[in-house]
Structure 1
């Protein structure tokens, strides 16, 4: 059994590998080889204990568990078992693996659907999910300009500086969401806002937009008008959008009927001009990423 820490992941997991492995996972789910049921939860008073499970037929099965308390989150746990023996093959403890796989799935979506000449990116939000999206997207598109906005000026300035120093990319903090979004080839919304953070009219034709934040009825960082503007609306898990409680923001609207899965895009070469990608969390992908890591990485800190 190998135990993988956050430090291991930061040091050894490359964006290129992560995007490649998540592309494999999305296709495996589309083919029916990766089993990806919607997540389940147990109520814990002020929060919930969440489980996402998955299984790759004939190879492994596993799960991720985490809580939703408003205080600083506890460490997430990802476990992978051998399909044949049931033995634990790998365990990841910490808070890096989950956001990295979300970022990598976002990178898969950009690579499949964004214009090949897309080089400018607008980012609304400066948390961990914003960082891992940028980390992964930079592996599939040569980013020439990144505009960063969040409500806290110190945070957005610090984030832009970190992007320049750690990723070697040209990033600038800007004073409004509109300034971050208008005229950009790629847009990433990664906030905790319960209300739309951008006006759909700011999104230029041909833009690829990823939304990662709240997306349930009464609490969503984007509105149906953004979907109305899109030629193509994609998600990593259509099943998960049907399992939200409260309901997914598009439930009961014509826009929900337009949703297609990212696996269908990859398998069928589906394309669109203006694209909205709703990242909801394809179950089993955390375990898939861990399984690939423990099979490939000769880390001295892994035992």
Structure 2
């Protein structure tokens, strides 16, 4: 079943209200907020590489409040253990049996703060739950809440005592983005409201968690023309042919780009994907999946600049082919 124009209009209306709600907290960052909700409604996860104090925790909390969901924050440190994330079984002497105590991963929105500060073993504790939305402890599987999204952060300027995320784990994130510092006008508005501390900001929920799950399922039904799939395929293949790129985007990356493009189309009030949806998401969805050749990286070449080059050099299909 394909999404109808009426369903697309309903989806777009709620998406706009969700973005406007979070915009009250994350001033002047509408594009990043839209990316966050696109990731949530695409049933994916978001990696934020940003400086301290740019509102990452407030962003995660605001998304959770907007969808009447729960949120948790895990501060990743070198001594953090996998059980501190997933939970552990503790022996109950009174009942003479083990009882499972859930970890902070059991929330709708999980903020994994400074994820690259924990050891690879601890980082890997998130892999199963990010992919399959459940955790396995001592052979027993426990489902997490729905909707479920991990918003992970890492500091781009402080590398001492950190563990670089392996490519396999980066590939689990639907998107990578950066909030960045606010512009002057937004800074003035933040300072004018400084009497209220950030953690005291409370947003009214726009929809329930059940509606978010319904929207995510509806986004899957957006029409994708074969020409759009061909365009996505050519973009992904181009990442594997540039000499500056040692490792190109995977098939998972191509699927992520199509999935998120469907959500963005619905958020724009359309029941079909157009090339502009793909173009606007190609960099945040694909760039972090690329491994740039060290020599090119030394010359200042970045994955984002290479993706911009690929988007520019890969001709999109005409819009008339994509509508139905």
- Please give the TM-score of this superposition, normalised by the length of structure 1: 0.32
- Larger relative strand fraction: 1
> TM-score, normalized by length of structure 2?
0.30
> Which structure shows the higher helix fraction?
2
Q: Between Structure 1 and Structure 2, whose CA radius of gyration is higher? A: 2
